């Protein structure tokens, strides 16, 4: 079974995927990131340098995929799954 944390594009590749900056899921002023208060410690206040948000990518992914998050705050969990999907996480349903 593939590790879902490793199926996404590597952290080093994410800022250079050729995403139109106005549509980037890394823009903290737009959904879903603006709704992810669970990630606030990791998100830069301004969208000038989103690469710093990935300094702790593994911690961010672990926080978003934590079963307790789904139980305690389903909205945050759902927005987290949307965010991870937009970043390229490929879900393995096997």
pLDDT in tens, 36-76: 999 888 776 644 555 565 677 888 899 999 999 999 999 99
Q: Please state, in angstroms and rounded to a whole number, the distance separating the CA atoms of residues 2 and 80.
A: 20
Residue 49 dihedral angles phi and psi, to the nearest 5°: -140, 90
Record the tokens describing residue 25, joined without a space.
Answer: 């899921």
Record the tokens describing residue 87, joined without a space.
Answer: 């970043």
% residues pLDDT > 90 (the chain):
26
| Residue 30 buriedness (CB in 10 A; 0-12 / 13-18 / 19+) | middle
Residue spans of beta strands (DSSP E) within 19-81: none
pTM for the full predicted model: 0.64
């Amino acid at each position: 079974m593939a590790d879902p944390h490793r199926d996404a594009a590597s952290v080093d590749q994410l800022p250079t995927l050729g995403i139109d900056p106005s549509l980037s899921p890394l823009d903290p002023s737009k959904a879903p990131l603006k709704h992810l208060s669970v990630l606030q410690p990791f998100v830069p206040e301004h969208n000038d340098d989103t690469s710093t948000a990935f300094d702790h990518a593994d911690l961010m992914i672990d926080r978003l995929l934590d079963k307790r998050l789904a139980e305690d705050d389903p909205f945050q969990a759902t927005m987290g799954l949307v965010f991870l999907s937009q970043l390229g996480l490929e879900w393995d349903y096997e």
